[in-house]
Amino acid sequence: MPVYAQCLDLVDDPDLIREYVDAHRNVPKAVEQALRAIGIERMRIHRLGSRLYMTIETREGFDPARDYQRYAQMPGAAAWDARMRKYQKPSPGARPGEWWAAMEPVYVLTADVGG
């Protein structure tokens, strides 16, 4: 299962960060359905201060550029993303129009098969 890692900075304001975290405790079902429909099987977002780190595990054939465009057209997705923008700062290294920046894999520990 392909895994992608991305980072994003939040606006460094404790009240806005709390709102962002609270919003993610109740992600609308339509948004979750849209993410699954484009091939995202699992998504995790972690926070350290105002920095977010996200991993997504996807089905084979997932193409971030193509599939995130599809996601943006699905019910509820655009409204959710627009709502989240007030909390987010585009990450250094993010391409124009992107907010989350792709991260380069540095090390992967895999299962020790047969050893």
For residue range 23-77, list pLDDT tens digits in order: 999 999 999 999 999 999 999 999 999 999 999 999 999 999 899 999 999 999 9
Phi, psi of 18 (to 5 degrees): -60, -45
Q: Tell me how crowded residue 100 is: count the other CB atoms within 10 A of its CB.
A: 21
Contact by Cβ (8 Å): 91, 7: yes
SS3 15: helix
Using N-to-C axis directions, what is the helix angle for 77-85 and 14-23, rounded to 10°?
Answer: 160
pLDDT at 78: 92
Contact by Cβ (8 Å): 67, 39: yes
User: Domains plus CATH for the chain?
Assistant: 3-102 (3.30.70.1090)
